[in-house]
Amino acid sequence: MLKAPSRSMATAARSSLKIGMLPADGIGREVLPAARAAILALGSSVPKPEFIDLMAGFEYFTRSGTALPDETVDALKNECDCALFGAVSSPSKKVIGYSSPIVALRKKLDLYANIRPVKSVSVDPAVNPVVDLVVIRENTECLYVKQETQVVTENGKEARATRLITERASRRIGDMAFRTALTRPRKHVTIIHKSNVLSITDGLFRETVRSVPGLPEVNGRYGDITIAEQLVDSAVYRLFREPEIYDVMVAPNLYGDIISDAAAALVGSLGLVPSVNAGDSFVMGEPVHGSAPDIAGQNIANPLAAMRSAALMLRHLGYGEGADRIENAVDVVIREGKVLTPDLGGKSKTSEVVDEVVKRI
* CA distance linking residue 78 with residue 96, whole number of Å: 30
Helix axes 320-336, 350-360, angle to 10 degrees: 120
* CA distance linking residue 142 with residue 164, whole number of Å: 5
* CA distance linking residue 186 with residue 247, whole number of Å: 7
* CA distance linking residue 287 with residue 302, whole number of Å: 10
Catalytic, out of 175, 202, 257, 343: 257
* Contacts of residue 190, Cβ cutoff 8 Å, sequence gap at least 6: 227, 228, 229, 230, 235, 246, 247, 248, 249, 250
Is 233 catalytic? The answer is yes
Calculated CA dihedral for residues 333, 338, 344, 347, nearest 10 degrees: -130
Catalytic, out of 110, 261, 331, 355: 261
Catalytic, out of 144, 222, 246, 319: 144
Is 257 catalytic? The answer is yes
Spell out the SS3 assignment of 106-154.
HHHCCCCEEEEEEECCCCCCCCCCCCEEEEEEECCCEEEEEEEEEEEEC
* CA distance linking residue 280 with residue 176, whole number of Å: 10
Longest dimension (CA), the chain: 68
Catalytic, out of 18, 119, 187, 194: 194
Catalytic, out of 53, 74, 224, 233: 233
Which sign, positive or negative, has the C-alpha torsion 303, 306, 308, 314? Answer: negative
For residues 286 and 264, the answer to whether their CB atoms sit within 8 Å is no
For residues 67 and 56, the answer to whether their CB atoms sit within 8 Å is yes
Is 247 catalytic? The answer is no
* CA distance linking residue 330 with residue 152, whole number of Å: 53
The runs of H, that is alpha helices, within the chain are: 28-40, 58-64, 70-78, 101-108, 167-181, 201-211, 232-241, 253-264, 304-316, 320-336, 350-360
Q: Please identify every residue annotated as catalytic.
A: 144, 194, 233, 257, 261
